[in-house]
Structures are given as structure tokens and as C-alpha cells.
Amino acid sequence: MRVLLIGRGGRENALAWKLSQSSRLEKLFVAPGNPGTAEFGENISLIESEPQALLDFARQREIDLTVVGPEAPLAAGIVDLFQEQNLKIFGPQQRAARLESSKTFAKQLMQKYDIPTAGYQSFTDPEKALDYIKDRGAPLVVKADGLAAGKGVTVAETTAEAVAAVEKIMIEEKFGRAGEKIVVEEYLSGQEATILAFCDGRSIKPMLPSRDHKPVYDGGKGPNTGGMGAYAPAPLVGEDLQQKIENTIISPTLKALQAEGIDFKGIIYFGLMITGDQAKVLEYNVRFGDPEAQVVLPLLETDLIDIFEAVLEEKLSGEEISWSSNKAVCVIMASGGYPGEYKTGYPITGLEKLTQQQDTIIFQAGTEEREGEIFTAGGRVLGVTALGDRFQETRDRAYSAVAGINFQGSHHRTDIAERPGKDI
Ligand code: AMP
Ligand code: GLY
């Protein structure tokens, strides 16, 4: 099978790594990919925001299956475009992608179908939002309605922070049109977990639960990022809680989509807040999480192409999906200043000796290659994933690999998987 993978981050490096293990893969192209994906396929210089060019490529090069990694092309309708031309593509249509591309849409759906989530109000008028915030008082959570690369959310501990967030989103227009509308949410306390699920529109199958670490600094301090590290499986989600989440959140979400006439084929990402034995939805996404993909995919034993095909053919319910009993820990190494402003173009040293090891995988993200050398080229530069029997040894393995990689300004969290299930 000839596969075209769209995207360029750590998630796509993990997808390329996993797809390359499929006995059914004949040839993999990645658009545009990164130096890490080039180990598993051929990078091509087409970008995510050029759906017509990607379609032309898929047709000319006889691609059997296109896989979309990130949310932006899904929200822009790339799946609809490919399907109109009878080309096979994995991911939800534009209408279904609204689950992620409009927080208001997601909130309304949850409210209508009694799916547990934080109370909220949506606003298009900043004055009304500010009045509401002053009236309610902190803590509150302020979210840009549209896509903002994981950075459009402010957890405000004070009213002043919430006011500043509204100003940043609606007045300074930091996230452009994604901030024309905002959601102001009730603050939820507890522990977070992510459950990714394969969905074919008729049935839905959860993957192993994982845990992301969004704030930039240790102890959950500092602004939110796209994710600074992850581990799986998340011990917080035991059997009972998993069942409860399936009954109160995962199945009801599929039923809600069906009732709205939305045929969802792809990945649904459930971002959850667990308080005691209760789970609420923080957010939905419509693709693999990043860095979650970098810990969940290495534990997946089943052929990913088989699963993608089962989804497209609505045969997911008959597909056996099996998982390794290992643990996986991923530490993200980021550019100095990320998630704020940062410089790029610094050489990265220490990658070569790690690529040989079986239980440590380097997934590249914001990197580029120049004359055989790898340089930094983005905020999240790479993810170091280690695999092992127990969290402690796996975490040590990940951090010892991190210690061997260097680039100017590099920073990472030092507390990923320190106390799995009891993180701060
Ligand atoms: P989101 O992109 O909506 O998942 O938000 C990003 C992060 O902000 C989440 O992973 C949480 O850490 C935090 N967050 C979002 N909503 C809430 C909430 N209602 N209460 C507390 N924290 C939240
Ligand atoms: N790690 C969070 C996300 O992928 O949205």
C-alpha cells in the first residue's frame, strides 16, 4: 500500500515510525515531514495548507491511503475534498472536525446530550465577557473558540488574569479569527488524562489512557504549551473509572454525533479532568494528541494500517486491537523561550548514538536538516520516548537520553512520570 502522511511534528514522526512497521506498507510519503520522518519515508515539499496540491500528488503518485496528522487541514476540509474525488483519506470531515475547531460547538453538543463538562458561557462581545468575569470572579478558564495550537487557553487564578486573557484574545487578536468568539468556563480541579479513540461512525474503541503535561514548567507552573511530555498507560484511569468514562463520555459522544447526523471517521481525543471518581471533558480534539501519540503508538501492537482501513470500511467493531504491557514515557525538549518567542537554527548534537537503541526512540518535531546536520527549527524540537517494564526505569531511561542531547537554549520538564497518577 502507498501511503501519504500529512504533517511535520512529533506526532507525525510517531505515525511514520508506526506505519513503517506495517507489513502492508509499500511506500510512505510525508508532506512535508521532518528529518525524523525521512528515516521511514520520503519527505515531499508540499505543506499542510495546500489541499489541492496534496490531492494532485495523491492522484499522480497513486496513493492508496492518505493519513492526516494535524487539526488545521481537517478543519479546512481536506477530507471532504479527497472524498469528492474518491480518494481514500483517514480523518473526519470538516463538519465533524468542528468538535475541535469550535469550542462553542463542542460545549453545546455536550450540554445537549448530557456529557459531563465544565459550565460555560460563550461571548462575541469583549465587554459582555469582561462583565461576566467580574461578576463571577476567579478562578475561571478563558478559551479562544477556534484553533490556537494549544495556546489559546488561560487558567486564570485571579480576575485580573482572566481580564488580561480576554484582552489578549479579543482586543489584541493574538489568535486572529480563532479569537472572535471566546468560551469562559468554570474552573475544574483534579488530575488530567487523555483518552484517544478510533471511531468509524458506528463504533468507538478507546486506546490506552495517557497523561500529557501542558504547562511549561515543573510542578504544572507557567503558561500552557502544546504539551511538554507524556506517559502511558495512565494508572489514574483504573478499570472502574475506564468503564465509567466509556459509559458517561465515550459512548454518549458517539451517540451525540450520530443523533446530529455527523458521521465521524477518525480519531477522537478526549481531554479529561478526573476529580475523585468523576470524569469531565475538558476538550475534544479530532486527531492524535501530541505528545500523547509519542507514548500511545509505541505501545500499540496491532498494525495501524489495518485499523485505519477498518475505520474507513466501518468494520472497527470486528477489529482486535492489542497493546503491549510496557510503560512509555516521553520528554519534550523545547527551544529556549517556548511557548513564548524563541530563536531557531541551533545545531543539535547527540542524536546519532541514540537512534540505535531499541527501548529509546527519538521523535523529531521542530527540526531541519542542512548538509547532513540537524538544526532546531521550532518550539517543540523533539520528543524522547523510552519504553520499559516499570515507570521508574522507563523514566530514568528517557532522562538519561535527554541528558545526551544538546542544543543552545534547550529546556525540558524534569518531572514527567515522576509520580504517575499523582502528578501536579
Ligand atoms: P484545552 O485546550 O481546552 O484542553 O485546555 C488546555 C488545558 O487547560 C487543559 O489541558 C487543562 O490543563 C486546562 N484547562 C482547560 N479547561 C479547564 C477547566 N475548565 N478547569 C481547569 N483547567 C482547565
Ligand atoms: N497534547 C495536547 C494536544 O495534542 O492537543
Average pLDDT for 387-405: 96
Question: How far is 298 from 15, CA to CA, in rounded Å?
Answer: 9
- Reference 391, options 423, 413, 366, 362; nearest CA is 423
C-alpha cell at 213: 503535561
Q: What is the pLDDT of residues 9-21, one digit of tens each?
A: 999 999 999 999 9
> Any idea which ligand is nearest the CA of 69?
2
Ligand 2: which of 100, 151, 231, 269 to mutate, judged by most atoms within 8 Å of the beta carbon?
A: 269
Rounded to whole angstroms, the Cα distance separating 374 from 36 reads 10
Could you tell me which of 53, 105, 100 has the C-alpha nearest to residue 74?
Answer: 100
- Cβ–ligand 1 distance for 274 under 6 Å, the answer no
pLDDT given for residue 89 in this prediction: 98
CATH topology of domain 125-180: Dna Ligase; domain 1 (3.30.1490)
Report how far residue 15's alpha carbon sits from residue 29's, in angstroms, rounded to the nearest whole number: 12
Q: Which CATH number fits domain 191-318: 3.30.420.40, 3.30.470.20, 3.40.50.720, 3.40.50.2020?
A: 3.30.470.20
Other C-beta atoms closer than 10 Å to the C-beta of 90 total: 25
Cα(325)–Cα(305) distance, integer angstroms: 21
Which ligand has the nearest atom to the CA of 146?
A: 1
Q: How far is the CA of 263 from the centre of ligand 2 (A)?
A: 23
CATH of 327-403, picked from 3.90.600.10, 3.40.30.10, 3.30.1600.10, 3.40.50.20, is 3.90.600.10
Answer whether residue 126 shows pLDDT above 70.
yes
User: What separation, in Å, do the N-terminal and C-terminal C-alpha atoms of the chain show?
Assistant: 44
Question: How many CB atoms are located within 10 Å of the residue 276 CB?
Answer: 8
Q: For 172-215, write each residue's pLDDT tens digit.
A: 888 888 878 898 999 999 999 999 999 999 999 999 999 999 99
Ligand 1 midpoint to CA 387 (Å): 28
Instruction: Read off the pLDDT of residues 366-377 as tens digits, 9 standing for 90 and up.
Output: 999 999 999 999
What's the pLDDT score for residue 175?
Answer: 84
Which H/E stretch holds residue 129? helix 126-136
Region of 150 (left: φ > 0; alpha: ψ -120 to 50; beta: rest) is left
Q: Residue holding cell 507514548?
A: 295
The average confidence (pLDDT) of the chain is 95
pLDDT (tens digit per residue) in 290-302: 999 999 999 999 9
- Burial of residue 301 (number of CB atoms within 10 Å: 0-12, 13-18, 19+): exposed
Q: How confident is the model at residue 150 (pLDDT cuts 50, 70, 90)?
A: low
Q: How far apart are CA 320 and CA 416, in angstroms?
A: 31
Spans of all domains in the chain: 2-91, 125-180, 191-318, 327-403
Lowest mean pLDDT among 27-41, 150-164, 406-420: 150-164
**Cα(182) to centroid of ligand 1, in Å?**
14
Q: Given this model, what pLDDT does residue 354 score?
A: 66
Closest atom of ligand 2 to 288 CA is 4
Ligand 2 centre distance from Cα of residue 422 (Å): 20
Fold annotation for 2-91: Rossmann fold (3.40.50)
Q: Report CA(206)–ligand 1 centroid distance (Å).
A: 21
Amino acid at 157: E
151 CA from centroid of ligand 1 (Å): 10
Q: Ligand 1 pocket, 141 CB below 6 A?
A: yes
Beta bridge partners of 300: 323
pTM recorded for the entire structure: 0.95
Nearest alpha carbon, ligand 1 atom 11:
282
> Letter for the amino acid at 140?
L
Position 254 scores a pLDDT of 98
